Each structure stands twice: as structure tokens, then as C-alpha cells.
Structure 1
């Protein structure tokens, strides 16, 4: 008859990561591992609890920056670390936006970023505003990314944006039109880099 499938918490999380957030269900994980729902529920009480553990694993796998060369450099590197996290895990942005889960590792990461900003002389209010807005800036870039298995990439998202905006370009002022066209036709990372720079310029103006 053979030995029954063996599963533990780590194996379940790895299987969930392989499935991806957009297709993540308890049934899908059970089928992949060849185990029953009752076995899975010994480790995770719900799909959302499992998803939170998967996010924890993903966050811990990312290399996060240390505050070495000033707050602007630190925030720039932190933004790109968030970018790598979402780029590696399609569907994560929708999970976070839907408020379906809280990841302790992500909470700890935001707290550490805020504490580092305090060390750079930011007020508690300014630190929390920056942490919140920086994360939202990245999340918004990935919300339109197609689900796993459907060309889940920023390039696919950019193509869709171009398709949606093309019929309405004439409604924009001629001075704005080429900028918008460049934004939806060019590299998503290049446009994000420009938005991040504008955001950080605003932070610098507020900090004086």
C-alpha cells in the first residue's frame, strides 16, 4: 500500500507558494501534497491563516536594506525590496488590498522601517505616513497584474493599460498626451522609478 503522504507546516507553506496566491485554496494544497483537509486544518484553521504564513515566508526570503547611506537611499532600496516581493508573487497585492490577511513578518518589516526613519530624525507621524504611502505606491503597481497562469507579469499589465487608454487619448490635453502614452507604453519599472522619485522629493521638502 505504501506509506501515507507526510506533511508538516513547512511543506504546506512551500506547496502554497508553488500554487500562488491567485489560485490558493485549501483544496489545491491538499491535492498537491496528497493529504486530506483534516490534516491541513491541524496546521492552519483557514485559507487566510495559511496565506498569512505564506506571506511571512515570502517576506523573510527577500533581502531588505539596512539604513546605511541616509534616509532617501534607505527608502529607495526599501521600495525596490517591496517591488521584488510583489514581482515574485503575483496576486499578493490583491490579498493585501482586500484585507484578507495580516502577515506578522510584513508588520515587523513596516515597524523596522518606521524605527529606522525615527533614527533619521523623522517624527513618529511622518515615519508612519511614509511607511504606509511607500507600501501603497508599490501595491498599486501590481493590482492590475493578471492572475497566475494568465501572463502574470508587469508587461501584460502595461499592455492592458495601453489597450484601455488608447481610445481616450484625444480627451487629454496635447501637452499631457505624450507623457501618458510614454507611461503606458514604456517600462513599468521606469515609470515607477519616476513616481518614487517624486514621492521622495515630497518627503524631502517636508523634512526640510
Structure 2
């Protein structure tokens, strides 16, 4: 009887390790993403999946490979805007905003992008979609690729700023409190210009649009087009004026 129990225990224990039929490489990658790019370890991934660590090495060579795969998964999941025949300037803003939100939502992804940890393959695939949309709107391939590089740099900076602001608020409770604590380290007469400009410093703004506006306007000038913002303001004024005329005639 003892031998029978031992045999059952051995069979059960052997069934709990190794390579379960239901486990796939995608499940391993998903587990790493769910744990967080900056928090997962091979041990934690194995625990999450309910397998032994040695099982994971049947799907990935090491943590570095799993990290690259997880980064690729995160980047491939970025909800980039679809081509809905919007203007090229609107598409650029939508594209940059989507990318900023994705990076700011996973701060560790920013570090990996800066370090090139995700490889160039996914970046090329993402860029292809962007270039295709701009070429369809009269850009040359070279112009579209150059635009993407500038947009990528501005977007990365905007994402870093969002992460920094969120971290500051998490530590201090609010931006106002953070600034009050910072100014407390200086004498009342110090930093007079920054004290005067504190409201502008603390003001929330859409950094993507602020950073890209001069760039987009320079493209519009080269293309012989009016500023997209001037066009929108003109349309708003026209709508307001048209509404007043309609009410007057009625």
C-alpha cells in the first residue's frame, strides 16, 4: 500500500513540473507583461504560470530574451490611429498622442526603447504604417521618415515628462504641494523669476501638441499650406459668425 501511495505521489509531483501541454510561449510572454517589465523575474513568471523555472527555459533562452519579447508584445499592442482620411497634421498629433500614452503607461518601456532593448524590428514595422499614411498625403518617403524621427523624439520627451509628473504627484500629493516644498529650500529672495512664473510651470498642457506645433507649422509652410491651427481657428470664427447670422435672420 505504501508503494502504491508513493507511486501516486511521484506521478503527481512529476506532473507538476516539466512542460505542461497547455503552456505556450505566448503565455510565458503574457505573464511577463502582466507582472511588469520592471518587476518580472523568471521565478515570478514560473510561479504565476504554476510551473518550474526550468520549464520556462524550454520556451525562452533567458530573462533578456523574454524581456525583448515582452517589449515587442507591448509595442505591438499600441493602438495607433487608423487612416480615416484625416489631415496629415491631425494624423501626426493622433499618432504621437497614442505613442505617448503607451510609453507613459509602462515607464520601464521608455528605458528599454532608449536602450534599444526591444530591437529595431518592431520600430521598423510601426514606422512603416506611419510613413504609408503620410506618403498617401503627398509626402515623399524621405520626408515622411524624417518627420517620424522628429515626432518620435518629441513623443519620447512628452512621455518622460508625464511619468515624472505622475511620480511627483504620487510622492507629494499634488503639483502645488510639490512646488511649495521645493521653494521652501530657498531663501524668500531667491529664484524671483521662477516664483513669478510658477503658475506657468505648474500649468497642465498637452505637451505633444505644444512640442509638435512648430514642427507641423514648418512642414505646412514648406508645402505652401496655411497653419493647421489658423485653419481651425478660422473655422471656429466662421461657425460662430454663421450661428449669429442664422439667429438674426430667424
Same fold, judged at TM 0.5 (above): yes
Of structures 1 and 2, the one scoring higher in RCO (CA 8 A, sep 6+) is 1
Equivalent position of 1:186 in the other structure: 203
Equivalent position of 2:219 in the other structure: 203
Q: Say yes or no: does 1:156 pair with 2:167.
A: yes
The aligned runs of 1:58-207 (5 Å cut-off) are 58-67=74-83, 68-102=85-119, 104-143=121-160, 154-157=165-168, 159=175, 170=191, 178=197, 181-182=198-199, 184-187=201-204, 190-207=206-223
Structure 2 stretches lacking a partner, 5+ long: 1-11, 170-174, 225-250
How far does the alpha carbon of each residue in 1:124-182 deviate from its partner, in whole angstroms, 9 at most, with x for none?
A: 32211211221222222333666xxxxxx7422575995898569827589xx62xx44
CA RMSD of aligned residues (A): 3.3
Query: When the two structures are aligned, how many residues end up with a matched partner?
Result: 197
- Tell whether the 8 Å contact from 1:144 to 1:157 is kept in structure 2 after alignment: no
1:192 deviates by 3.4
Structure 1 stretches lacking a partner, 5+ long: 147-152
1:194 deviates by 1.8
TM-score (norm 2): 0.64
How far does the alpha carbon of each residue in 1:21-65 deviate from its partner, in whole angstroms, 9 at most, with x for none?
A: 222333332233233343222222233332232233323333322
Larger radius of gyration: 2
1:71 deviates by 0.8
**2: CA distance between counterparts of 1:39 and 1:139?**
36
Q: Say yes or no: does 1:4 pair with 2:16.
A: yes
